[in-house]
Amino acid sequence: MENVKRDKKGRFIKGFNSSPNKKKEKVKKICLYCGKTFLANNSPSMIKRGGAKFCNRSCLGKFYIYINKPYKNLVGKPAHNKGTKYPQFQDEKNPGWKGDSVGIKSLHRWVYKHRGAPTECEHCGTTDTSLNYEWANVDHSYKRKLDDFIRLCRSCHRIYDIKVNGYVPPNLK
């Protein structure tokens, strides 16, 4: 410590390098991820914190992603329960079942599930594949009755809702 420069009060002088010509020692290390050899600083702080294990940050990131995968032996395999139906929790048996107090979107999703996607219009009889077909509720009570829904093309559905039942959807008011 004889090369340390201090002021009159005994404090270290900032920016003073005690050994300007002394180069830091380098040590050969092997990367834990890719196995390449690389040179790393051999300083006490580096040794203390266990540094210089990887040749670059990319290898460090890849190594910890690989190590921390909880199910690395299942990578690429489908889940054990994929596609499994649980009849004990379907429809009315499900604890989250709302019955008739369900929203319009959920009710239409339920109709699609049980009757499929409509492919023709029951009003005008068209089966054009370029048109969109929808399930229309006949009496607008929106109850869980499959026979209370009819297949209509989008234009017939709007006409049916507005003219036949006097119902105007909220987005057209």
Mean pLDDT of 72-78: 67
Nearest by Cα to 29 from 12, 46, 17: 46
pLDDT tens digits, one per residue of 1-19? 456 677 888 787 776 655 5
d(CA 108, CA 49): 60
Q: Does the pLDDT value for residue 85 go beyond 90?
A: no
Residue 22: the pLDDT is 60
pLDDT tens digits, one per residue of 121-173? 998 888 888 889 999 988 888 888 899 999 999 989 888 888 776 766 666 66
Residue 118: the pLDDT is 92
d(CA 109, CA 105): 6
Residue 91: the pLDDT is 79
d(CA 89, CA 91): 7
d(CA 85, CA 93): 13
Given the DSSP bridges, would you call strands 26-30 and 133-137 parallel, antiparallel or unpaired?
A: unpaired
pLDDT tens digits, one per residue of 41-56? 877 777 667 678 888 8
| HSE toward the beta carbon, residue 89, CA cutoff 13 A | 5
> pTM for the complete prediction?
0.47
CB 54 within 8 A of CB 32: yes
